[in-house]
């Protein structure tokens, strides 16, 4: 679908309730499926990715029913059942990587498949440590389809070169079913929703700095309430910061510090952002965010900040393209392994609309400009976050921007355009 976006002639205003967090939704459905009894998940995401996780667990014999539009009831015996069907993870790396950790220690064989984009993403990062634990996995040269023959797992002490919540969660979930203790250490802290939710559901898990230790554990069923997704809020934060005269409130946004790097970067860039009504729901910090149009300035984004804003880098590039001075993003080489190679796709498409941005091996360098020309058709490369980032850029370009493949927003945020136009008056 080709979506044309034109320059706004006034600021964004009003407030918007940010839809459910995708990362937490995946984990909620997975962990509820592993607990014996009835769990209730409030505010479950309607994005296609969490729905892929839900359908995988239904195929594995878990009973799941929506009791209203956003409330999901999961009833499980705590044991998963073998299926002859391929388990379809769609476009979702989180589904494939976390489910692999769960299936590695079952007493049956399963096959995980994904769409074209997911089938190109690296799985060696989970196959290697799972194999060290005793898992039996065959793949297509480190890519999906993955066939996992259940095995008895042994705990390992794994020091990862990557800071990746998907790898960490995969190993912790395998560790929950392994003999002995499993320890996972990463260079910088990645999002910790797995650790928080496993703890909330009774797992024997300890965290010290960037090391997590898990013992064989059983989970208790729970009511899990999910906050709004800061990665979805990011598009509204960026839009309000760059569209003159904007003043908006984003309600019920997850503010977990392992996810809120965009707020730190915005502050460094001189943004006018205020957090209102900070609170805790189901072990996660959340709150409302007020964002006003600001004159942004460039900054350096690197090291431990990267995992805290990894999914926001495409839209941060849009902010930087309009900021005063230079922005440098480095240490972000894993961006090349996302739904698209987000270093080359972001750079090539923002260049088309007039941004001064250059690719580096592990990020990009942007020289901000007062205005962007637009007047181009940009591609999404089947990548939802690119579609929404380019939409935000289109709101300030001098000439319309057409986004090819805009329907990919449905992967994480089907309501994106409706909510954005609501703030445009």
Determine how many CB atoms are found less than 10 A away from the CB of residue 153.
Answer: 23
Residue 317, token pair as written in the block? 């590039």
Q: Which residues pair with 233 in a beta bridge?
A: none
4 vs 124, beta carbon nearer ligand S3P: 124
Q: How far is the CB of 20 from ligand S3P (least distance, A)?
A: 13
- Exactly one of 310, 317, 350, 355 binds ligand S3P (CB under 6 A); that residue is 310
Strands (E), 211-346: 211-214, 223-225, 247-254, 272-281, 284-292, 300-301, 326-329
Q: Give the CA dihedral 310, 316, 320, 321, nearest 10 degrees.
A: 110
Range in contact with ligand S3P (rule: CB under 6 A) among 60-68, 163-171, 176-184, 340-348: 163-171
- Exactly one of 18, 19, 23, 420 binds ligand S3P (CB under 6 A); that residue is 23
Task: Give yes or no: 311 in active site.
Answer: yes
Distances (CA, A) of 294 to 307, 314, 356: 25, 19, 20
Q: How far is the CB of 2 from ligand S3P (least distance, A)?
A: 26
Say whether 382 sits in a helix, a strand or coil: coil
Sign of the dihedral defined by the CA atoms of residues 258, 260, 266, 272, in that order: negative
Asked if residue 349 binds ligand S3P (CB under 6 A), the reply is: no
Tell the residue number behind the tokens 């995992």, with chain if given. Answer: 307
Q: How far is the CB of 243 from ligand S3P (least distance, A)?
A: 26
- Exactly one of 88, 284, 288, 311 binds ligand S3P (CB under 6 A); that residue is 311
Q: How far is the CB of 158 from ligand S3P (least distance, A)?
A: 15
Range in contact with ligand S3P (rule: CB under 6 A) among 55-63, 83-91, 164-172, 373-381: 164-172
**Pairing status of strand 211-214 against strand 182-185:** antiparallel
Asked if residue 260 binds ligand S3P (CB under 6 A), the reply is: no
Total residues in contact with ligand S3P, by rule CB under 6 A: 12
165 vs 419, beta carbon nearer ligand S3P: 165
**Chain position whose Cβ is nearest to ligand S3P:** 23
Range in contact with ligand S3P (rule: CB under 6 A) among 73-81, 161-169, 212-220, 395-403: 161-169
Q: How far is the CB of 197 from ligand S3P (least distance, A)?
A: 11
23 vs 106, beta carbon nearer ligand S3P: 23
Identify residues 49-108 at the interface with ligand S3P (CB under 6 A): 94
Asked if residue 252 binds ligand S3P (CB under 6 A), the reply is: no
Asked if residue 190 binds ligand S3P (CB under 6 A), the reply is: yes
Q: How far is the CB of 98 from ligand S3P (least distance, A)?
A: 7
Q: How far is the CB of 201 from ligand S3P (least distance, A)?
A: 17
Closest CA to 229 of 256, 189, 209: 256
Catalytic pick from 21, 88, 311, 410?
A: 311
Asked if residue 192 binds ligand S3P (CB under 6 A), the reply is: no
Closest CA to 23 of 267, 255, 155, 194: 194
197 vs 285, beta carbon nearer ligand S3P: 197
Residue 94 backbone class (left: φ over 0; alpha: ψ -120 to 50; beta: rest):
alpha
**Pairing status of strand 63-68 against strand 136-140:** unpaired
Q: How far is the CB of 117 from ligand S3P (least distance, A)?
A: 13
Residues 6 or more apart in contact with residue 366 via CB below 8 angstroms: 298, 317, 320, 321, 323, 326, 327, 328, 329, 355, 356, 357, 358
Residues 6 or more apart in contact with residue 182 via CB below 8 angstroms: 133, 155, 156, 157, 158, 171, 172, 174, 175, 176, 213, 214
Rounded distance, CA 322 to CA 370, Å? 6
Asked if residue 383 binds ligand S3P (CB under 6 A), the reply is: no
> What is the largest distance, in Å, between two alpha-carbon atoms of the chain?
62
Asked if residue 21 binds ligand S3P (CB under 6 A), the reply is: no
List the x/- string, 112-151, binding to ligand S3P by CB under 6 A.
Answer: ----------------------------------------
Strands (E), 141-237: 143-149, 157-159, 182-185, 205-208, 211-214, 223-225
Asked if residue 166 binds ligand S3P (CB under 6 A), the reply is: yes
- Positions marked catalytic: 311
Binding site for ligand S3P (CB under 6 A): 23, 26, 94, 164-166, 169, 190-191, 310-311, 334
């Amino acid at each position: 679908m080709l979506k044309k976006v034109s320059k706004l002639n006034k600021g964004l205003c009003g407030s918007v309730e940010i839809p459910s967090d995708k990362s937490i939704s995946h984990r909620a459905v997975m962990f509820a499926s592993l607990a014996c009894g009835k769990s209730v998940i409030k505010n479950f995401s309607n994005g296609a990715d969490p729905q892929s996780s839900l359908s995988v667990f239904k195929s594995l014999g878990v009973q799941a029913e929506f009791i209203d539009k956003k409330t999901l009831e999961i009833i499980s015996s705590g044991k998963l059942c073998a299926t002859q069907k391929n388990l379809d993870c769609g476009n979702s790396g989180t589904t494939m990587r976390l489910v692999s950790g769960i299936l590695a220690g079952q007493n049956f064989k399963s096959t995980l498949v994904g769409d074209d984009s997911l089938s190109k993403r690296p799985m060696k990062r989970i196959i290697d440590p799972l194999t060290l634990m005793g898992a039996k996995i065959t793949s297509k040269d480190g890519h999906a389809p993955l066939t996992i023959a259940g095995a008895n797992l042994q705990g390992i002490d794994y020091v990862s070169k990557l800071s990746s919540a998907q790898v960490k969660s995969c190993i912790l979930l395998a560790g929950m079913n392994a003999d002995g203790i499993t320890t996972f250490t990463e260079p910088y802290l990645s999002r910790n929703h797995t650790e928080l939710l496993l703890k909330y559901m009774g797992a024997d898990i300890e965290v010290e700095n960037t090391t997590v230790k898990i013992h064989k554990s059983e989970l208790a069923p729970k009511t899990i309430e999910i906050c709004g997704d800061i990665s979805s809020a990011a598009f509204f934060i960026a839009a309000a910061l760059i569209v003159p005269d904007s003043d908006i409130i984003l309600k019920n946004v997850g503010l977990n510090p392992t996810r809120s790097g965009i707020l730190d970067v915005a502050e460094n860039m001189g943004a006018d952002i205020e957090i209102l009504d900070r609170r805790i729901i189901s072990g996660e910090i959340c709150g409302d965010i007020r964002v006003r149009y600001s004159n942004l300035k460039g900054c350096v984004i690197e090291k431990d900040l990267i995992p805290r804003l990894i999914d926001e880098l495409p839209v941060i590039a849009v902010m930087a393209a309009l900021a005063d001075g230079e922005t440098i993003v480095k240490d972000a080489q894993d961006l090349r392994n996302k739904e698209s190679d987000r270093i080359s796709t972001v750079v090539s498409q923002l260049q088309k609309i007039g941004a001064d941005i250059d690719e580096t091996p592990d990020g990009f360098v942007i020289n901000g400009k007062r205005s962007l020309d637009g007047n181009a058709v940009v591609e999404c490369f089947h990548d939802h976050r690119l579609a929404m980032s380019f939409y935000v850029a289109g709101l300030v370009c001098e000439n319309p921007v057409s986004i090819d493949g805009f329907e990919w927003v449905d992967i994480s945020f089907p309501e994106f355009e409706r909510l954005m136009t609501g703030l445009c008056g």
